[in-house]
Amino acid sequence: MTKALNRRDFIQNTSAILGVASVASGFTLTTFAADKGPASGGKRWGMLINTNILSEAEIDSMVSACKKEHGWGFEEHSTGSQKPSWIKKVKVQDRATKKITSLPLMCQHCEEPPCVDVCPTNASMKRLDGVVLVDRHLCIGCRFCMMACPYDARSFVHEDLSNQKEHMPRGKGTVESCTLCVHKIDNGEQPACVASVKTDAVIFGDLKDKNSIISKTLRKIQSTQIRADLNLNTGVRYSGI
Amino acid sequence: MNKISKVRYQQVDGSGTGFYVLVALLSVLIVVALGAVYFMEHNGHYVTGMSNRIVWGTPHVFAIFLIVAASGALNVASISSVFQKKMYKPLSRLSGLVSLALLAGGLMILVLDLGRPDRLIVAMTEYNFKSIFAWNIILYNGFFVIVGVYLWMMFERRMNKFSSKVGLLALTWRLILTTGTGSIFGFLVSRQAYDAVIMAPMFIIMSFAFGLAFFILILLASYKWTERDLGDAIMNRLGNLLGVFIAAVIYFVAIYHLGNLYITENTGVEDFLLFDGEIYSQLFWYVQIILGGLVPIALIYSPVTRGNRMTLGLASVLVIIGGIAQIYVIIIGGQAYPMEMFPGMDIISGYGGIASYIPSIAEIFLGVGGIAVALITIVFFVKFLPFLPESLSDEVADPHHNR
């Protein structure tokens, strides 16, 4: 007994198949995500930078590692101050003592990030584990976050980009900054800049874990936050400035 | 009641050569602005003078200026319907129109200068209620609705009785709106030139002056070009009001800078803005304070030029030029000075120094295009709807005459 497939049956069957397929793919996606584990509020990622032992060459290698990892700094048309700069080497001198210090400066991953406060579209956001990111799909390129950031940490993409990294989609007309290499830390790796330093001048880890090396070190040595007066409780801490 | 019925509103003729020349001129400016937008958006912002240090450039100067002026232009209507000053009543419709048109022009610039103007829908659907920017989006949209309804109350005779209530709402809304605009800067704690709550009231008083200057110019031009009567009574009143507003702006500017100078940590930025800032200090003293403040006050109150239509027009133009200079110094100058990231230390390299900024021609075209959009909106509305009284001669406008 064969039955000719009429149009109604075809539409019914096709819809059913499509329906099942889309629901199933949803389950699959959810399952994969759950396997990997979403960002958890039980963690707070942080970094401790000891400028007493971190050499200038090491800071340069941190900057290079970040550029290579994320593919910024190779823009063709942008001028120096238009080129993105996710991390930079800053040299400061104490006015009273004349002591000179070099340090890497990037997004400080504040607990109370002003960029997230001012962003009109929720594109600037903070993950539960304290990483501050920009959702490039929601960013309208208003640059208010750049006005609000006390650390000059954010960059605006001033031109079309090509040859982008698969793990780091970037786009003309949106704002970007250090992601703390979420794609790496979510896989249990260290951020590229931290990995580039062979000494323990830069320590990365979970600030909420009392037994992590970063927490233990912070308990022992003197450290500070840049613009601590703003009470932003930064995830990036410095020792030696 | 009799007094109100005496005022007859009439569309402007708008069939003469002058009208078409004006429309053509404004259209050219708008087309050029759209071309500039295409150029900037197609290439990216690298073709502008903006950078990662000066993230808001000349388009923002024009946009903020127009948005501030927009709320101020509504004052004339508020004085009439909220404060019951009858002399201003015939001007109320135009006041509402000018405010909506200026806001439209300003917002157009703001949107077209976004990195992703194509994502405007995101800005309209995704709100972060902690963001003063998101609040402003709501405030601007609300302003269009409220002033639109306000105009309807004024136009529709049956609805006239509600105009004072809606007028009160519009006044309250516009005060909150300008507070929001000022707070965009006032709440930026990380930058020494901002981080001052006085920004909000200062922006409100700036809006009074800029908006009235625009209104006066539009009134003068439209009555001259349509050859309608415009009496001295009303113009002198508006002129006096403008003088008071200009003085008030200077007062707020003085308090803002004196307050900052008192705080030692801010003396650096004050030295920069007031004395060492080259273009910014020059704009501050010569254009904002002298040309846009003291000269207009002298023109308005000096016995020699008092009551003169031409000098009032000139004073209004100067207030607008001074106002643009003021916003330029606030926005660009405030960003050019580096943030105090390491108190007690000098930054030797990597950050700091005064950021350079030279506006590109495309940015200027976009800004001027925003003004053109505001003006062409006014031109079309006064042609197709009865916004302007047939006459504003002293008999119509002066309440003493009617007594």
- Distance (Å, whole) CA B372 – CA B25: 9
A114: DSSP letter: H
A120 to B350: CB separation less than 8 angstroms, yes or no: no
Closest CA to B207 of B338, B323, B98: B323
Using a pLDDT cut of 70, give the percent of chain B over it: 97
Lowest mean pLDDT among A123-127, B14-18, B268-272: B14-18
Categorize the per-residue pLDDT at B274 as very low, low, confident or very high, splitting at 50, 70 and 90.
very high
What chain B holds in terms of domains, given with CATH numbers, is 2-338+355-383 (1.20.1630.10)
How far A173 CA sits from the closest chain B CA (Å)? 4
Check A122 against B137: CB less than 8 A apart: no
β-bridge pairing A100-106 and A87-94: antiparallel
Q: Which whole-number Å values give the CA distances from A127 to A42, A116, A124, A144, B47, in the listed order?
A: 11, 11, 10, 20, 34
Q: Report the C-alpha gap between A225 and A206 in whole angstroms.
A: 17
Domain A45-239 has CATH 3.40.50.620: no
Residue B2 is predicted with a pLDDT of: 43
- Rounded CA-CA distance B55/B66 in Å is 19
Check CB contact of A161 with chain B, cutoff 8 Å.
no
pLDDT digits (tens, 9 = 90+) for B224-267: 999 999 999 999 999 999 999 999 999 999 999 999 999 988 99
> For residue range B36-49, what is the model confidence (pLDDT) as tens digits?
999 999 999 999 99
pLDDT tens for each residue of B192-227: 999 899 999 999 999 999 999 999 999 999 999 999
pLDDT of residue B85: 87
Burial category of A199 from C-beta neighbours within 10 Å (exposed 0-12, middle 13-18, buried 19 and up): exposed
- ipTM confidence score: 0.92
Chain A nearest-CA residue for B131: A118
B31's tokens: 């087309």
Q: What distance in Å separates the CA atoms of residue A121 and residue B133, rounded to the nearest whole number?
A: 9
- Asked if B119's CB is within 8 angstroms of A119's CB, the reply is no
Residue B396 predicted with pLDDT over 50: yes
Please answer yes or no on whether B184 and A144 come within 8 Å at the CB atom: yes
Task: Give the model's confidence band at B296: pLDDT under 50 very low, under 70 low, under 90 confident, else very high.
Answer: very high
Residue A87 to chain B, least CA–CA distance (Å): 10
Banded model confidence at residue B16, pLDDT cuts 50, 70, 90: confident
Please report the pLDDT score of residue B307 as a whole number.
84
Instruction: Select from B386, B366, B370 the least CA-distant residue to B101.
Output: B370
Tens-binned pLDDT, residue by residue, of chain A (241 aa): 445 556 666 566 665 655 555 444 444 333 333 335 678 888 999 999 999 999 999 999 999 999 999 999 999 999 999 999 999 999 999 999 999 999 999 999 999 999 999 999 999 999 999 999 999 999 999 999 999 999 999 999 999 999 899 999 999 999 999 999 999 999 999 999 999 999 999 999 999 999 999 999 999 999 999 999 999 999 999 999 8
Q: Is the pLDDT of residue B5 over 60?
A: no
Residue-level pLDDT at A2: 46
Q: Using CA atoms, how far apart are residues A174 and A110, in angstroms rounded to an integer?
A: 21
A-interface mutation test, from B45, B58, B195, B358, most A Cβ less than 10 A away: B45
Q: Which residue in chain A is spatially nearest to B193 when comparing CA positions?
A: A147
pLDDT at B50: 98
| Structural contact between residues A171 and A140, judged by C-beta atoms closer than 8 angstroms | no
Determine, for residues B132 and A118 on separate chains, whether the beta-carbon distance falls below 8 Å: yes
Chain A residues with CB inside 8 Å of B191's CB?
Answer: 147
Between these two residues, B158 and B112, which has the higher pLDDT value? B112
Domain borders along chain A are: 45-239
CA B376/CA B402 separation, integer angstroms: 35
**A141 interface with B at CB cutoff 8 Å:** yes
Query: Number of residue pairs across A and B with CB atoms under 8 Å?
Result: 167
Distance CA B102, CA B107 (A): 9
Strand segments, DSSP code E, in A95-154 are 100-106, 124-126, 132-134
Distance CA B139, CA B149 (A): 15
| A144 in contact with chain B, both atoms CB, cutoff 8 A | yes
Contact A121, A138 (CB under 8 A): yes
A158-162 long-range contacts, CB within 8 A, separation 24+:
A158/A75, A158/A77, A158/A78, A158/A82, A158/A83, A158/B44, A158/B45, A158/B46, A158/B50, A158/B51, A159/A75, A159/A76, A159/A77, A159/A78, A159/B43, A159/B44, A159/B45, A159/B46, A160/B44, A161/A71, A161/A75
What would the pLDDT profile of B334-374 be if each residue is shown by its tens digit?
999 999 999 999 999 999 999 999 999 999 999 999 999 99
pLDDT in tens, B66-79: 999 999 999 999 99
Chain A residues in contact with B131 (beta carbon < 8 A): 117-120, 144
**Backbone dihedral angles phi then psi of residue A12, each to the nearest 5 degrees:** -60, -50
Distance from the Cα of A233 to chain B's closest Cα (Å) equals 15
B293 pLDDT exceeds 50? yes
Taking alpha carbons only, the member of B243, B226, B371 closest to residue B312 is: B243
Closest residue in A to B51 (Cα) is A82
Nearest CB to B114: which of A142, A150, A152? Answer: A142
